[in-house]
Amino acid sequence: MTSAQRKYKMKDVDMIITSSTILETAATHQGFLQQHRSDWSGSFFTDLQADIDKKVSIHLGIDTAKDLREATAVVIETQTKAVKSLANLKVQIVEDFKQDPLRRDQILKSLGYATYTKLSQTGNQQDLIGILFQFKQNMSDELKKEICMKGTMPKLIDDIIGYADAFKAANITQESFKSSRKSTTHDIVKDFNEIYHSVIKICKMAQKFFDGQPHVQEQFVFSKVGRAISAKASPGTLAKAKAAKAAKEKTS
């Protein structure tokens, strides 16, 4: 049997999340879209979503694509909060210990900030987990007291420590959805290519139908939506995803 080739240049799980997200957008605008396509009438979009959910259940072993999106949303939200909190604490340590650079550098290194620059550039989840657990392990009561005596709020440190377990748990949940099961690679690729083809077709047409409405058009650009909700989105991309979500809610 000739091996099937994927028609998309992203991970299966990211393609599924992107497709399902775009279908939700299409369902929101179905009244307008159905004026342009007779075959999109009735429950077309919900039926297509149901087909995706069925294939996700078969190949990824989870109930629906919605579960996958929700797991990814938790990861992205926790990642965003953790990175922001780490940045807020770092600037306070740098400024509070400016007169004692040796101690400043010791604290930053102990808490994992030696690799923080790399994290801020890549947004890699494993890098973040590493920093958070190093932070949790090395943040002793004495060090916390030393930092807070300079003016840092204790809650900020407590929040960062809490993100260590929360983010690892969310990451594990998401990763468990990424391991294909029950099906052969050929069957997976065949079914997922069909999903991709169906959603890309909707995207290309919808972009034309919403001519003059760029804020809606961009919600049907597959690559842009894919980057915005990517499970390994960088901090910069996360900001764009948040903005895209806000724009979608505003127009819904």
Q: What is the pLDDT of residues 18-51, one digit of tens each?
A: 998 899 899 999 999 999 999 999 999 999 999 9
Average pLDDT of span 189-194? 91
Backbone conformation region of residue 203, classed left if phi is above 0, alpha if psi is from -120 to 50, else beta? alpha
What sign results for the dihedral spanned by CA atoms 214, 226, 7, 194?
negative
Q: b/e map of 30-59 (b: 16 or more CB within 10 Å)? A: beebbeeeeebeeebbeebbeebbebbeeb
What whole-number distance in Å separates Cα of residue 26 and Cα of residue 23?
5
Average pLDDT of span 193-203? 95
| Residue showing tokens 């890098």 | 127
Q: What is the pLDDT of residues 96-155, one digit of tens each?
A: 999 999 999 999 999 988 776 665 545 566 677 778 888 988 999 999 999 999 999 999
pLDDT at 177: 56
Mean pLDDT value across the chain: 81
pLDDT at 74: 74
